[in-house]
Structure 1
Amino acid sequence: MSFETLDALRALLADMPGPDAEAVQGATDRNGQLTKPPGALGRLEDLAIWYAGWRGDARPAINAPQVIVFAGNHGVAARGVSAFPPEVTVQMVANFEHGGAAVNQLAKAFGARMDVVALDLDTPTADFTAGPAMSEAEVVAALRAGWDAVDPQTDLLVVGEMGIGNTTSAAAISAKLFGGDATAWTGRGTGVEGGALALKTKVVADGLTAHAEAGDGLDVLMRLGGRELAGMAGAIARARTLRVPVIMDGFICTAAAACLERTVAGALDHVVAGHQSAEGAHPRMLEALGKEPLLSLGLRLGEGSGAALAIGILKGAVACHSGMATFGEAGVSDA
């Protein structure tokens, strides 16, 4: 299963599998027999049942989580929209590969395999204020790189990103997909403020004007996105074909994922929001997608760090669901 064009991916998205109804029912029945008052574990119960449905197992386990960090460079960064120069993308990729970033520590802490996929770092995307950020061939290549990066044996996926300038891209995507002006969606990103924030906001506004005729989410991704955003979107789509649940990261990852949802409604049913980031527009985006975050800790690092931290929440939910005794097994009265 693969694709060579955006139309072919659209067709795949329209024919994706759903959760296993029998597993959902079995998990629901089991949850009702566990040694606890009904609902006592709150959202953990819902998460476990959701996970069981996608894995097709009423009593599942999480044994092989995977974290993938995608990296790309943005032509729009040359407009001065970030507090850091584009060279930082390459430097941080090396840091990921040597195990020195925050996401490396979190992946290790929760037993996740971590992969880094650098996407044509020597060739930034085009400045989206002057034309599409990518051609169709370029965005398809990045989407397919994400698709191919997912290990078919994984049972839980986290995707993250690194790319100087990508909060500008994410802001433009969000404004185009959800409506509203550039000011409502443009935040500080790496820490810009004052005149630099005003410049960043203008760049987003110019991008929206340049692509007023953009179509569905995949078209918006091609016009306003970056290779690392496309990589994340491709990996999330691939996970759906494998019935692998996904934990979504912060503002940039959510913008990438939203491109799938705005192409085919329901494309993110296998996705939960790992956290609500400190980027100002992220709560608004999560609300528009109907995703309630698992954590809200003021994180704004990216890299997949918030979602990697949330692996522990999902592991805890599944461990309680599958490992707890039922009233009958424990010899405890449920009257």
Structure 2
Amino acid sequence: MVDVASISTLDEIHVLLKELPGPDRAAAAKAEERQSQLTKPLGALGRLEELAIWLASWQGRAKPQIERPFTAVFAGNHGIAAKGVSAYPTEVTKQMVANFIHGGAAVNQLCGLADSDLRVYELSLDEPTADFSEAPAMPEDDFIRAMAYGMMAVEEGIDVLALGEMGIGNTTSAAAICTALYGGDAGDWVGRGTGVDDATLKLKKDLVNQAMELHQADFAKDPLQILRCVGGLELAAIAGAVIAARLARTPVLLDGYTCTAAAAVLHAIDPRLLDHCVVAHQSVEPGHVALMEKIGKQPLVNFNMRLGEGSGAVLAILLLKAACACHNGMATFAEAGVSGPAD
């Protein structure tokens, strides 16, 4: 097992990314074979069948299970928020973390329903990142520490990892990441986040465009530099958690726009790095649809959600449980004495 706590440079992270394992194709083949024998027309359960096979390929067993789901919510504050890009003050990040801890947030209720453990990871809430419209959001050592922190949050023995975030101003970071990765004007990627007015929406676009000019030289060096320059501590931690989950062959559920943007940086390095990830839901943020197209993902649900905090990812745990229940519990044609499809 890699000692992630010892990682101290971006070069070491890139070496690690080249060593990540792939799916268990033998387990996937067995799962596909079982699906062909279950008492239903092949493909009749649609994405539930696909999810069962996907889970089998990463869990390494023909009958996947969701008995120990784990939800990790990373929280950090953004210097860009001081420019007024959010409808809420930065104090809300810390207040919401307390709400998570005391069980009062939506993610707590959904975790209870999904029987998922929930951990909230605070990243220097009293020390926001720098305002990325004026300077890189994080110095390299802070960025690497945040990624390593995210890696260490992935516990052994879990069946699936649901990822979420909390951080006032982080939809502005998500838009900046996507603009840097895929180009275009900031207006293609900036949305209303927590519900800002037209003037604030314009401000967000202007600040993202300003950041593109400021950090262009750094962006060209390495996709990880994009995350360092315009991301946040919690977004760096999410990227680290995605890497650690891949090391452990643990399937991952990504929450909405901000969480997907953090993971997209890894996709820019190598598209295969997100093969163990599924996007749980389609955010109301307009950039999320375009982002999912860029990384080749389709959301599991579209409930017009824009809450963050892992709420959509945890909701999708229930779908994975449904996929496993059908895959594992249904009888085969032979077991049920039902005639299979005609030759």
Percent identity over paired residues = 55
Cα distance in structure 2, aligned partners of 1:262 and 1:56: 26
Q: Is the 8 A contact 2:172 2:190 kept in 1?
A: yes
How far apart, in 2, do the equivalents of 1:99 and 1:75 lie? Answer: 28
Residue deviations 1:264-297 (CA, integer Å, cap 9, x gap): 2311000011010101111000011100110001
What per-residue deviation string (whole Å, max 9, x for no partner) do you get for residues 30-55 of structure 1? 11001111111011111100110111
- Residue 74 of structure 1 corresponds to 78
Corresponding letter in the other structure for 2:128: P
Whole-Å separation in 2 of the counterparts to 1:26 and 1:219:
41
Q: What's 2:320 paired with?
A: 314
Q: Structure 2 residue aligned with 1:99, among 100, 103, 112?
A: 103
Q: Which amino acid aligns with 2:197?
A: E
Match of 1:239 in 2: 245
Give yes or no for contact 2:271–2:295 (8 Å, CA) kept in 1.
Answer: no
Question: Do structure 1's residue 264 and structure 2's residue 265 form an aligned pair?
Answer: no
Q: CA deviation at 1:15?
A: 1.5
Tell me how far apart the structure 2 counterparts of residues 14 and 193 of structure 1 sit (CA, whole Å): 44
Q: Which deviations, in whole Å up to 9, do the C-alpha atoms of 1:56-99 show, x marking residues without a partner?
A: 10112111000011000011111111111100000000000111
Query: CA contact under 8 A between 1:119 and 1:227: conserved in structure 2?
Result: yes
Cross-structure match for 1:171: 175
Query: Is the contact between residue 146 and residue 233 of structure 1 (CA under 8 Å) also seen in structure 2?
Result: yes
| SS, match of residue 96 in structure 1 | helix
Counterpart CA distance in 2 for 1:263 and 1:9 is 11
Check the 8 A contact 1:217/1:261 in 2, yes or no.
no
RMSD (Å) for aligned C-alpha atoms: 0.9
1:251 aligns with 2:257: yes
Equivalent residue runs for 1:4-23 within 5 Å: 4-23=8-27
Check conservation: 1:26, 1:58, Cα contact below 8 A: yes
Query: Is 1:217–2:228 an aligned residue pair?
Result: no
Amino acid at match of 1:290: G
The TM-score normalised by the length of structure 2 is 0.96
Which runs of 5 or more structure 2 residues have no equivalent in the other structure? Answer: none
1:164 is paired with a residue whose SS is coil
**Alignment TM-score, normalising by the size of structure 1:** 0.98
Structure 1, residues 294-325: CA drift from partner, whole Å, max 9, x if none?
A: 00010000001111111111111111111111
| 1:124 to 2:128 alignment | yes
What's the CA shift string for 1:181-220, capped at 9, x where partnerless? 1111111001112111111111111111111121322111
Question: Aligned residue pairs: how many?
Answer: 335
- 2:306 counterpart residue number: 300
* C-alpha contact 1:14 1:264 (8 A) present in aligned 2: no
